[in-house]
Structure 1
Amino acid sequence: MKLAVHAPGRLEVRTVPVADPGDLLSRLPHPTALAWVRHGDGLVGWGETARLELPGGHDRFAAADAWLAETFGSAEVEDPLRLPGTGPVAFGSFGFDPKSADSVLIVPRYVLGRRDGHAWVTTIGDPHDDSPDALDSLDALAGALGAPRADGPPPAAFAPVAPGRLTWSDGARSAPSWAQAVQAATARIRDGHLGKVVLARDLIAHADRPIDARVLLHRLADRYPTCYTFAVAGLVGATPELLIRRAGAQVDSLVLAGTTARGTTPADDEARAATLFRSAKDREEHSYAVDMVRDALAPLCTDLDVPAEPELLRLSNVTHLASPVHGRLAADRTVLDVLGALHPTPAVAGTPTERALDLIRELEGMDRGRYAGPVGWVDARGDGEWGIALRCAELSGTRARLFAGCGIVADSDPAAELAEASNKFRAMRYALEG
């Protein structure tokens, strides 16, 4: 495996407690943001001390873990808090397909975090760096610490600016073409080739101005506070699905599969939720995902709690079938170790996994990139939180590529799946359009 690495020599890392900084996202000084925030807590980062770009391969999680162990293991660290997310941290996102070469880990220059009533700032790298990027970051860091700025308000160049007028175009497939792909998938499933496949489609937005990730992050965090709002290397979104959280020996996951749109009235909403809960199609789709997570985690855990029945998770635009899973690791495995065992789940690929991946490559007509891959953060202790990159977009200048996917089983209806995908686009459309 050939790795693309940008890293300095030995890292110097210092974490200091700070007063509550308020809105973490408002502290980001650059459009090139790093973020993982839910209910106002989490981590934001800026600057870049080290980067690892990974080629495809099933061993990419192990390769990332080894690189981080070497990079963080030799660091000189001052961390009086020793909480998950303090000390050296890397933000990352992995390509969905094991063959993808899109995976990246970024060690930021600065991290601002809040968790369980504690807030902190971490600096990573050379404290004497006087480059322009570092000076901008130091100014933002002073603001995070509550120190007054010496030169007035932030420069206009760094103030978040909305994308402006948007025009939209189809991605790899038009809506009718994608519905035909769904129909082809249901035929394969009925013929016994596989039990489930997740098919995704993309949508392209073109803006008047370069798209600032911070604008999207603020809108997503305000509208979807129960989701994990994230940004890593131009991938921005708000995912409801926690793939894995590790804090010491404790691991937690939230399995989502099976979806319906929210109702237009309280009575309609309750009726839709009840229909979803009773739906044989959606319960089957959900059970595939839960069974796989159980099978992946059971060999790694001494205790594992998997609910017998799903519950309903209501977001502002959709309701999901959800199963929270909790366990205790049997050995000292990092969060990336566990990711390697879990991804891809049937919730984003299908089952059996390899047949589902082959069918996705055949029918989607596009490269997903990092959509539906793991996204999150990891620290030097191996703790971290990783979600599945859903309800997201890849940003590139004035262009945004949005994604939405649906679980397809034998009795899936192409028109209904197309409507579900359109509904799932709404989160990022709102983030772009305001």
Structure 2
Amino acid sequence: MNHTDATAPGAAEPRLVVRTFPVDETEPLIPRTDPRNPLVWLRRGEGIVGLGEVLRIESNGRTRVEDAAAAWTELASRAEVDDRVGLPGTGLVAFGAFAFADDSAATSTLIVPELVLGRRDGRAWVTRIGLATGDPEATAGAGVVPDEAVIPEPAPKRKVPRVTFAPGSVPPAAYESAVAEAVRRIDAGDLEKVVLARQLVGRLDEEDGLRATISRLAEDYPDTWVFAVDGLIGASPETLVRVDHGQVSARVLAGTASRGAGEASDRERALTLASSPKDLAEHALAVASAVKRLAPHTARLDASPEPFTLQLPNLWHLATDLKGTLGDGSSSLDLVRAVHPTAAVAGTPRRVAIATLAELEGFDRGRYAGPVGWIDGDGDGEWAIALRCAQVDGDGTVTAYAGCGIVHDSVPADELAETDMKFRPIVEAFGG
């Protein structure tokens, strides 16, 4: 589909016309998405999906987030918005995914869809977004389509495609060696923690397999942020930052244990995780990192008094929720820039950890562990860390990612086993 690149040099400044109106229902959301280019942001069946593309904002390098934020603010300031619903995700929105590293070859992007279908708190809506024609009379009322027939019919359910994954550039033995080297550097005092990831690579042949895969993620992991943006798909349990009318929140995850085989075993593993000195120390570093980065932008910031155990279908996490009030008018992307990358996906100290993981991992993370989510015309939005995810390229290559926080008492074989646990959601979503 043709689209406008808002970052193209010499391009005329686009002006958007946006109309949001209530409808009786938009369910089911995922089966109405574009199978080749899905745009999805859902949790517990609520959220938004996008179809088509009006324009995109692309950025790269160290200033990729601030450049995108500045371009978005300028674009939003020119938009003509008629929002008759007024919920998070209505009005002008863009779906976004950003590269993890400053020197990544992956492009960071904000995508403005032509059509947004949403539901939240029992209410449903449709948003139409188009480029203004330049003729005020022709533009007036554009995009107002009160007929519910504009909602695409849901596609019939298809089988989840079967993708066979194999180790990427770092085989298991090499990953264990990298963990051992990281522990050596930590014990030498070079750093306190580093997060090391590995890849699995497969191939997708079915044209519309992504829709079935996303449905599987949403069904199996309803309490996560299920996302699809520019070929990046996944189900993240970690909220990087959420901004809604001056309120800010985040969820920090660090520390992991597998689920038990039965109720008693499962409860025991959760209790063991909650009292594990290694996991508690790793978690404390991640929380301190998030608080340090968010606090300057808030008038108040509160954290859960103690980490709590977060139950997912395949594992337990230690979690801490942060909630506060903005103090400086920051947008959600301003806060994304401030907190990314967190200690939960990079390490501590940040600068040393990023250099260490880049050296020991031996591959470009792309958008894995980068910010993924959406932003609206007021700067509010919801952003997660792209975890439990895979990047699907145009040639059908599927690259899945998983990583672990390495601290001084990490055991290489245990960390490798933890990555296998973290691969499960995305591997199973592709029929594995």
Q: Deviations over 1:394-426 (max 9, x none)?
A: 012432110000000000000000000001000
8 Å Cα contact 1:229-1:239 kept in structure 2: yes
Change (3 A) 1:7 1:174: farther
Q: 1:89 to 1:165 in 2, by over 3 A?
A: closer
Number of corresponding residues: 414
SS of 1:382's equivalent? coil
**Following the alignment from structure 2 to structure 1, what is the Cα–Cα distance between the partners of residues 249 and 174?**
38
Q: Which residue matches 2:215?
A: 218
Deviation at 1:79, TM superposition (A): 1.0
1:398 correspondence with 2:396: yes
Moved more, 404-413 or 306-315: 306-315
Change in Cα spacing, 1:187 to 1:98, as seen in structure 2 (3 Å) is: same
Aligned to 1:88: 92
The answer for the alignment partner of 2:139 in structure 1 is: none
Q: 1:371 to 1:68 in 2, by over 3 A?
A: same
Q: Give the corresponding residue for 2:120.
A: 115
Which of 399, 422, 425 aligns to 2:423? It is 425
Q: Please tell me whether the aligned partners of residues 7 and 50 of structure 1 are also in contact (alpha carbons under 8 angstroms).
A: no
3-state SS, counterpart of residue 167 of structure 1: coil
Give 1:139-158 correspondences, 5 Å limit.
145=148
Distance in 2, Cα, partners of 1:163 & 1:399: 16
Q: Distance in 2 between matches of 1:73 and 1:229?
A: 29
User: Does the 8 A contact of 1:205 with 1:401 survive in 2?
Assistant: yes
Partner residue, 2:46: 41
TM-superposed deviation, 1:98: 2.1
Q: Does 1:254 align with 2:251?
A: yes
Change (3 A) 1:7 1:387: farther
Which AA in structure 2 matches 1:104?
A: T
1:345 partnered with 2:342: yes
Contact residue 92 and residue 106 of structure 1 kept, 8 A = yes
CA distance in 2 between partners of 1:7 and 1:412 (Å): 54
* Whole-Å separation in 1 of the counterparts to 2:233 and 2:303: 30
Output the CA distance in 2 between the equivalents of 1:301 and 1:164.
45
Q: 1:182 to 1:315 in 2, by over 3 A?
A: same
Show the counterpart of 2:326: 329
Specify the code of the residue in structure 1 equivalent to 2:126: V
- Which residue in the other structure is 1:132 paired with? none
Q: What is the distance in 2 between the residues matched to 1:36 and 1:148?
A: 17
- 1:169 aligned partner, one-letter code: A
Residue 181 of structure 2 is aligned with which of 184, 201, 205? 184
In the alignment, structure 1 residue 25 sits paired with structure 2 residue 22: no
Distance across 2 between alignment mates of 1:148 and 1:163: 24
1:56 corresponds to 2:61: yes
- The whole-number CA distance in structure 2 between the counterparts of 1:25 and 1:292 is 35
Aligned ranges 1:168-247 → 2 under 5 Å: 168-210=165-207, 212-247=209-244
How far 1:147 moved relative to its partner?
6.8
Shift of 1:220: 0.3
Shift of 1:118: 2.0
* 1:248 CA drift (Å): 0.9
User: SS at 1:125's partner residue?
Assistant: strand
Taking the aligned partners of 2:150 and 2:414, their CA distance within structure 1 comes to 54
How far did residue 433 of structure 1 move?
0.3
Shift of 1:212: 2.7
Alignment partner of 1:355: what SS? helix
Aligned partner of residue 204 in structure 1, secondary structure: strand
With over 3 angstroms needed to count, the CA separation of the structure-2 counterparts of 1:209 and 1:29, relative to structure 1, is: closer
Match of 2:317 among 304, 320, 324: 320
Q: Deviations over 1:156-209 (max 9, x none)?
A: xx7665464433221011001111100000000000000000000000122443
Letter in 1 for 2:355: D
Residue 275 and residue 195 in structure 1: after superposition, are their counterparts in 2 closer, same or farther (change >3 A)? same
- State the one-letter code of the partner of 1:14: R
The 2-side partners of 1:193 and 1:431 are apart by 38
- Opposite residue 67 of structure 1, the aligned amino acid is A
| C-alpha contact 1:160 1:212 (8 A) present in aligned 2 | no
C-alpha displacement at 1:62, in angstroms?
A: 1.7
2:73 counterpart letter in structure 1: A
Tell me, in whole angstroms, the C-alpha distance in 2 between the residues paired with 1:106 and 1:249: 24
1:131 is matched with which residue? none
Q: Is residue 308–residue 320 contact of structure 2 (8 Å, CA) maintained in 1? A: yes
Whether the 8 Å contact between 1:3 and 1:55 is mirrored in structure 2 is no
**CA distance in structure 2 between the partners assigned to 1:7 and 1:406 by the alignment:** 45
After superposition, the Cα gap between the structure-2 partners of 1:283 and 1:69, relative to the gap in structure 1 and judged at 3 Å, is same
What CA distance in whole angstroms lies between the structure 2 residues aligned with 1:421 and 1:7? 47
Aligned equivalents of 1:19, 1:29: Cα separation in 2? 22
Contact preservation (8 Å) 2:227, 2:235: yes
2-structure distance, mates of 1:181, 1:259? 19
TM-score norm. by structure 2 comes to 0.91
Structure 1 counterpart of 2:249, one-letter code: D
> SS in structure 1 opposite 2:164?
strand
One-letter amino acid of the structure 2 residue matched with residue 387 of structure 1: A
